[in-house]
Amino acid sequence: MSDFQSWVQGIQTRTESTLGLLLPDSATTPERLHTAMRYAVLGGGKRVRSLLAHAAGEMCGSLAHRVDLAAASVELIHAYSLVHDDLPSMDDDDLRRGKPSCHRQFDEATALLVGDALQTLAFEVLSQPDFCDDARRQLEMIHLLAQASGSRGMAGGQAIDLASVGLNLSPAELEYMHIRKTGALIRAAALLGAQCAANLDQARLQAIDHFAKRIGLAFQVVDDILDLEANTATLGKTAGKDAEQNKPTYVTILGQERAHTLAAELHAEAVAALAPFGDEARRLIQLADFITRRDY
């Protein structure tokens, strides 16, 4: 196993463990809701957002136990969005991370409340009194997470996605949607990891911001390619879903070849943004490679 692979596994393990501690125990009332929350969050996922938070945090000298909480709050937002996206009134998906989606395993009402309560838990985690010495900075982090998640961020991107079914979007319109739908939270993950550092370096923060915007888009382009090229078993979610639902994707709009080229270009731009940091940016660059070259 490469040094990078073992780093990834280490972060995935501590992310799982942090989330397991932050989520209410299944035996706590209401048991069914808490069981379903744990089901929706634990036991899978690439944890890309947590990996980004930790890699950015390491580059900035953040304390890892702080990044654990910041990363967990982003993963909770991400998990809530998956649970709600899978609901029948949205993407109506039966499969998530290789298991029945939350509303299939439990029921629709429970899945609705699971998403609601996971979002709340993200803000409960990030507002913990002992999280950060600098209360003002902590407020900025909460504000950043809220802006990334709300109607001008992730939820707004989801709304544009819904409205775009069957439409011929331009590449610019598709980018506008994805900057919100997946990009905003990926950007927030990297920035929150960096903001956990005691001495925040604005130049680093801006470089990470630039990096994260490009890699967030690359992530989505690769997602669209995988939706077409990979199979359901490898993905752990239903492959071919976008095409079936007549959703515009980078592949349908640009074609397969140009989508691959775009992913490579975005990857190169992301990596270039980190040039001033030399070897210190190693993890973030490895992560950019991982995100662009993954097959699931």
Q: Using CB under 8 A as the criterion, which residues of the chain lie in contact with its own copies when the complex forms?
A: 24, 28-30, 32-34, 37, 80, 84, 87, 89-90, 107-110, 112-113, 115-117, 119-121, 123-124, 127-129, 135-136, 138-140, 142-143, 145-147, 149-153, 155-156, 158-160, 162-163, 176
Closer of 131 and 277 to its own copies (Cβ)? 131
The distance of closest approach from Cβ of residue 89 to its own copies in the complex, given in angstroms and rounded to an integer, is 4
The distance of closest approach from Cβ of residue 217 to its own copies in the complex, given in angstroms and rounded to an integer, is 18
The distance of closest approach from Cβ of residue 126 to its own copies in the complex, given in angstroms and rounded to an integer, is 8
Closer of 133 and 279 to its own copies (Cβ)? 133
Closer of 33 and 284 to its own copies (Cβ)? 33
The distance of closest approach from Cβ of residue 77 to its own copies in the complex, given in angstroms and rounded to an integer, is 9
Closer of 13 and 127 to its own copies (Cβ)? 127
The distance of closest approach from Cβ of residue 73 to its own copies in the complex, given in angstroms and rounded to an integer, is 11
List of residues 6+ apart from 135 with CB closer than 8 A? none
Closer of 83 and 291 to its own copies (Cβ)? 83
The distance of closest approach from Cβ of residue 16 to its own copies in the complex, given in angstroms and rounded to an integer, is 19
Closer of 162 and 198 to its own copies (Cβ)? 162
